[in-house]
A and B are shown apart, each in its own frame.
Chain A
Amino acid sequence: MELNVTNICKSFDNGGVPKTVLRDVTFRVHEGQFVTLLGPSGCGKTTLLTIIAGFQKASSGEVRINGALVSKPGPDRGFVFQDFALFPWMTVRENILFPLKQQRMDRKEQNERLGTLLAMAQLEGAEHLFPSQISGGMKQRTAFVRALAGNPQVLLMDEPLGAIDQQMRQTLQEELESLWSKNRTTVLMVTHDVEEAIYLSDRVLVMSSQEGRLLGGVRIDLARPRKRDDERYHLFKSQLTDMLKSAFKQAVSSKGE
């Protein structure tokens, strides 16, 4: 698997004035990597992710998966939404079965896969509950394994912990990390949280809010699971925080002109 994003530009027509939200974004994600797009809110990182997912079109540039051009949503790219987008009329079980049924997997195989996923996400016993009956953490795990169920080439996650309160966040980051390490699907995640980016990613790409440009990348080569009190962990944290600050300053000064 290889995801290639090449010269992506996106501009909106903002009342006659074109507004650029992404300019010449180019990067590559390799098999098995956990890559994070980090940037201040409004930098276009979610727009970029939805372009890769095929939910909207880029103004120019291209996205390729294993060399094949991406133009519309497809099961090769799993997506975890910020609000999870679990179907409220389906139980946890039915939600996770949805992608399997779309693939016309045979029933026996479906049930085996479902069992594996439920066990992996520790959702046994909750499979017959509706999304409105389960906690935020369980919703997040359901959304995660639902997106994994169809064996996508790459998993795209849009602030998957954005809707979770601060105390729960760290616990869920740890859960997400252990879930991911059981599976090692290639992941591209969007977040504005430095801590989250370091805890989860192999590589962090920092975006500027000024015209949505890629500022640069940082490789996080800490052993997993990561220790939050590690010295190098803190070094990465201050390095990324500085990068984010400069990204923000650039944006402010360019607006002041």
Chain B
Amino acid sequence: MEENGCKIYTPLGPEFAQMKLSQGLQKLENPAFKLITLGAVIGIWQLASIYYNNTLLLPPPLKTAKALFLAVQDLSTIKNLLLTLRRLLMGLGIALFIGLTLGFVMGYSRTLLKLIDPVVSCVRQVPMMAWVPLTIVWFGLGDGPTHFLIAMVGVFPILLNTVAGVQSVPKSYYHAAQSMGAGPFSLFSRVTLPASLPNIMTGVRIALGAGWMSVICAEFIATSAGFGFLMVRAQTMMETPLLIGLMMLGGVVGYSMDLLIRRIERRITRWRFVE
């Protein structure tokens, strides 16, 4: 969107499509539908595994479940998973700090928006995995590349949504606050911040999802520990049941994190969820 030759951010694009899909899914709350679908998928999986009859290619569901069950009881799986989650938290922390700071500054000042926007628009287009080789050069193998990549994928949704949030605050809120005696600090903490919080939370949710996906990718290549590393190891040791089990675990963890962040969102933007 262009207005007065100045870019107005809207949280559209692929991230938005992703949001809509999950919102749509939420409406199917009847558990019967979930069970039918799940049953069908497992049934097809079972039939396919009988047809191919090759555990390396496609292990049967039961065998996969067993591998998953053993894996979650294994302390090293939990340790590696926690390591990955710690990286995720650290990376998101960096993304949040940079994204919010720049987002508020760019939301407030048209001049800074115009100055910083070209950089953001360019860097944003570099495919995330293209950063991996360079981050290994910069940080070596280990935590460094993962932190960098999570921060990199997380910072843009947070930044863009913060800018959109700040820009969407009606002028009358500022005027109202000023005519009730609010100074600059109150205007920020009691008007700008809460008014843009819904947008910020959307950004954080997208950042969390994207971060979880990319941290595992980064761990395939750039580290020798973590959840992604476990999966690569399962692959090289030809333990396909474990590999698929870990994939399922990854899905469950991602889903739980999204649930958690929605809960936090409901808590801190309570006014949007009252009837």
A-to-B contact residues, CB < 8 Å: 50, 53-55, 72-75, 77-79, 81, 83, 85, 87-90, 98-99, 102-103, 129-130, 132-133, 146-147, 149-150, 152
Q: Is the interface of B mostly helix, strand, loop or mixed?
A: helix
Contact B175 A74 (CB under 8 A): no
Q: In the complex, which residues of chain A have a beta carbon less than 8 angstroms from the beta carbon of B190? A: 87, 98
Q: Distance in Å from the Cβ of A11 to the closest Cβ of chain B?
A: 21
Q: Distance in Å from the Cβ of A226 to the closest Cβ of chain B?
A: 29
Q: Which residue of B lies closest to A149 (CB)?
A: B180
Q: Distance in Å from the Cβ of B5 to the closest Cβ of chain A?
A: 16
- Judged by a CB distance under 8 angstroms, whether B176 is at the interface is yes
Please tell me which stretch of B47-55, B241-249, B267-275 contacts chain A, meaning at least 4 of its Cβ atoms lie within 8 angstroms of it: B267-275
Contact B180 A99 (CB under 8 A): yes
- In the complex, A99 Cα to B179 Cα: how many Å? 9
Task: For B172, give its contact among A78, A85, A129, A149 (CB under 8 Å).
Answer: A85
Contact A87 B173 (CB under 8 A): yes
Contact B177 A133 (CB under 8 A): no
Contact B175 A132 (CB under 8 A): no
Q: Which residue of A lies closest to B171 (CB)?
A: A55
Contact B181 A132 (CB under 8 A): no
Given A73-B178, A98-B190, does the pair A85, B173 have CB atoms closer than 8 Å?
Answer: yes
Please tell me which stretch of B122-130, B140-148, B191-199 contacts chain A, meaning at least 4 of its Cβ atoms lie within 8 angstroms of it: B191-199
Most buried by B among A50, A78, A81, A133: A81
Q: In the complex, which residues of chain A have a beta carbon less than 8 angstroms from the beta carbon of B176? A: 79, 81, 85, 87
Given A87-B191, A89-B269, A130-B274, does the pair A98, B180 have CB atoms closer than 8 Å?
Answer: yes
Q: Distance in Å from the Cβ of A103 to the closest Cβ of chain B?
A: 6
Q: Which residue of B lies closest to A102 (CB)?
A: B181
Given A81-B172, A87-B194, does the pair A133, B180 have CB atoms closer than 8 Å?
Answer: no
Q: In the complex, which residues of chain A have a beta carbon less than 8 angstroms from the beta carbon of B172? A: 81, 83, 85
Most buried by B among A81, A89, A132, A133: A89
Contact A74 B181 (CB under 8 A): yes
Q: Which residue of A lies closest to B275 (CB)?
A: A133
Q: Can you identify 26 A-B contacts, CB atoms within 8 angstroms? A: A54-B178, A55-B175, A72-B178, A73-B179, A75-B180, A75-B181, A77-B179, A79-B176, A81-B172, A85-B170, A85-B175, A88-B271, A89-B194, A98-B177, A98-B182, A99-B180, A99-B181, A102-B182, A102-B183, A102-B186, A103-B181, A129-B274, A132-B271, A133-B275, A147-B179, A152-B179
B-to-A contact residues, CB < 8 Å: 170, 172-173, 175-183, 186, 190-191, 194-195, 197, 269, 271, 274-275
Contact A78 B179 (CB under 8 A): yes
Number of residue pairs A-B, CB distance < 8 angstroms = 71
Given A87-B173, A87-B191, A102-B186, does the pair A79, B179 have CB atoms closer than 8 Å?
Answer: yes
Q: In the complex, which residues of chain A have a beta carbon less than 8 angstroms from the beta carbon of B195? A: 87, 89
Contact B175 A79 (CB under 8 A): yes
Q: In the complex, which residues of chain A have a beta carbon less than 8 angstroms from the beta carbon of B182? A: 98, 102
- In the complex, A148 Cα to B195 Cα: how many Å? 23
Q: Which residue of B lies closest to A130 (CB)?
A: B271
- In the complex, A98 Cα to B190 Cα: how many Å? 9
